[in-house]
Chain A
Amino acid sequence: MPRASAAALRTVPPTDADATEDRAPEPARAVVSVSDLSLTYETADGPVYALSGVDLAIAAGEFVSFIGPSGCGKTTLLRCVADLEQPTGGELWVNGVSAEAARLRRDYGFVFQAPALYPWRTIERNVALPLEIFGVPKAERRERVRRYLDLVHLGGFAKKFPWQLSGGMQSRASIARALCFDPQLLLMDEPFGALDEIVRDHLNEQLLSLWRETGKTVLFVTHSIPEAVYLSSRVVVMSPRPGRIIDVVDCSRLGRQRPLEIRESPEFLAIAHRVREGLRAGHAYDE
């Protein structure tokens, strides 16, 4: 059902999204509900099946990773949820309404593959960007920016420009920007893909504790098995051509408190092994 995320920002205008005919059927009231979703691109060389027959339901508070080789449609699926791509078949509900309606009422925060910070804005003004667009009053804007910069440990860098920050700090700034309007749903498209291992570990830890503290629902695209297993309550394994789900691996038995060392534990390795097996099974070697 439509949750309080829109109400969190008083200034978000009501949209047609709340019209009743746009509601999902009763069983589909998960945060993200996908059934028989497909997306086909028509190209000069014939159709490309980016997604085919994808079924998935994600409940509130889950951390779900999508993993698979490039071209498996994991990013496409995330972009469909964000209404940045339009599926060509099947059903997709976000918070009980269509993806477009969810986007229009600003239900989710999106973190891209690159930090995508505006070079001419300071870090604090970058984080304030969505708040400015939503028309949040200046005083509240300042308060929220400070709170979320502190949350990602960038409190001392508010006045810096993006080029003055390291790649990891830029990533954190982009996460603060996605969080600052308090969406209950966080969509992350390989946000740490360009970072080195150490920085990535650090950010993974921070993201995990952030997820524990805020209880947000996270959809996380990655191509790293350890990252997926470490972060997630569930890992969705996908295969290419056509992009489809071949396995959904439950990771909740690792618990919610996960020190980095857990990655060497037998349970972790067993889960990682199953994910790897899934990837291998779905991978076509005849290319």
Chain B
Amino acid sequence: MPMTSEALAPPARPVARATLAEGNALPIATVVLTIVIVWYLSALLANWTGTFDALARAGNPTDLQAVATATMQQERPVVPAPHQVAAELWKGVFGFAPSSKRSLLFHGWVTLSATLLGFAIGAALGIALAIAIVHLRSVEASIMPWIVASQTVPILAVAPIVIVALGAVGIDGLMPKALIAAYLCFFPVTVGMVKGLNAPDRMLRDLMRTYSASQTGILLRLRLPSALPYLFASLKIALAASLVGTIVAELPTGAQAGLGARLLAGSYYGQTVQIWAALIGAALLAALLVQAVALAEAATYRAMGVRSR
């Protein structure tokens, strides 16, 4: 079988007799439990001195148990305990109307809309660049160094410049954030797609040559279908990068809304629990988005009839 079919069709794993030990449940539970335990221990250690001092100042008992309990309930802890963050998340998501400025859903949507727009722009740009690079050697030679250079510029330094410059010409709101997100996320798509478009092996390309197929025909019938596994892998990276780009773009500008603004406001007022809740919220959002890409990937392969995992 040609290589491309192997890339598309890894051998199916037998899952019929999956028990707790063989399946995924046990490893997943172990990792989550470990993270929670480490988190609680970190909260305990990080908050210890401050809590101890505060209790002592107030004349309260400072025995081991009292301090340990109190480290988990600080209003402005150095490291909040998991249950505090969970409660803050719950309150942020379900405690307010989604249109309220205190709702995490509101801020999440502001960030999500810019993330998705930036992702769409970045992915389209990335694919277009890859197609150009694969077909024209001169494009690779002339553009690729700039693409690589663009990714070495720290986004934290560029973001305020872009936002301010675009604001000066009257573009604000969604678009500047989306552009920064696109700036971060086109690169993995370009790299992945160049690799993917060149993936079909020699024989399949020779076959198209014996048919005197046009470049467009080869692109549509051979290169693009072969590139799909690479495309979906790079889209997952791009989506995460797009979210990071959006959040970074929301940080430096005194933005009124978005998860980034929420992070910034939290740090102004020392609201560590709010910061952590926004962080975890962003992480959950990224996980959901990547999962959505994975579902789209599976659906695409199913529609193409390719044997999938």
The chain A residues found within 8 Å of chain B, CB to CB, are 82-84, 103-106, 108-110, 112-114, 116-120, 122, 129-130, 132-134, 161-163
Contacts and interface: CB of A to CB of B under 8 A. Distances in A.
B63 interface: no
B9 A106 contact: no
B2 interface: yes
A116 B8 contact: no
Contact of B307 (A122, A132, A133, A161): A161
A114 B1 CA distance: 7
A109 B209 CA distance: 11
**Closest 3 CB pairs between A and B?**
A119-B5, A120-B304, A110-B210
Contact of B212 (A103, A118, A122): A103
A124 to B, nearest CB: 12
A106 B213 CA distance: 10
A116 B209 CA distance: 13
B203 A104 contact: no
Nearest to B212: A104
A163 B221 contact: no
Nearest to B210: A110
B284 interface: no
Contact of B207 (A104, A116, A134): A116
6 contacts: A84-B210, A116-B204, A119-B2, A119-B8, A133-B208, A134-B211
A92 B209 CA distance: 19
B206 A118 contact: no
Contacts of B211: 106, 129-130, 133-134
A118 B222 CA distance: 8
Interface residues of B, number: 24
A161 B211 CA distance: 22
A84 B9 contact: no
B217 interface: yes
A126 to B, nearest CB: 10
Contact of A163 (B9, B207, B222): B9
B305 interface: yes
B103 interface: no
Given A133-B213, A133-B217, A163-B5, A120 B207 contact: no
Contacts of B213: 133
A104 B209 CA distance: 9
Contact of A112 (B5, B207, B221, B305): B207
Contacts of B74: none
B225 interface: yes
A84 B203 contact: no
A187 B307 CA distance: 31
Interface centre among B4, B222, B225, B305 (most CB of A within 10 A): B305
Interface string B263-303: 00000000000000000000000000000000000000000
Interface string B1-32: 11011001100000000000000000000000
